[in-house]
Amino acid sequence: MSVEVQLFNDGTGLLFTYRGVVRPEDDQRANEIIDQSYDRRTARFSLIDNRAVTKNTTTSEEIRMIADFCIEASKNTPKHIVAVVAPKDISFGLGRMWQTLSEETSWSIGIYRDMASAEDFIQKEHMKLFGEDLGEIRVTGTLVPEIG
């Protein structure tokens, strides 16, 4: 698998793009790189793009560990929006499992089959949480070059 992390809107958003076979160790490495060079408290939203995933072998225990990481992270970023694009059934189901296990966060989380619905969710939740129009969601830089 490979994962790439890009910045949206001058760092107020993160785009995680996954390709190929999902391997949790690649995701863990990407998050380590993010933590070395980025203050997550500046992020208002994250978009997780699984459209190019060909196989997902993530276990329920690994989903639990990701949820635990998010619960801890939410203590520093209580107002955060996460939209997951997961057109395939396995990724969609794992996304829903993560959403349920992450209920302790105060985050707004949505799992969608298509990018347009995910972006619409981010726009609406941004207005609700931050009281301002997000404008166009656009990539403005790369935080983690493709790894994996």
Q: How many domains does the chain have?
A: 1
pLDDT tens for 58-92 read 899 999 999 999 999 999 999 999 999 999 999 99
Domain membership of residue 118 as a residue range: 2-147
* Residues with pLDDT less than 50, the chain: none
For every residue of 43-109, DSSP letters joined together read: --EEEEEEEEEEEE---HHHHHHHHHHHHHHTTT--S-EEEEE--SHHHHHHHHHHHHHTTTS--EE
CATH code of the domain containing 102: 3.30.750.24
**What is the value of pTM for the model shown?**
0.92
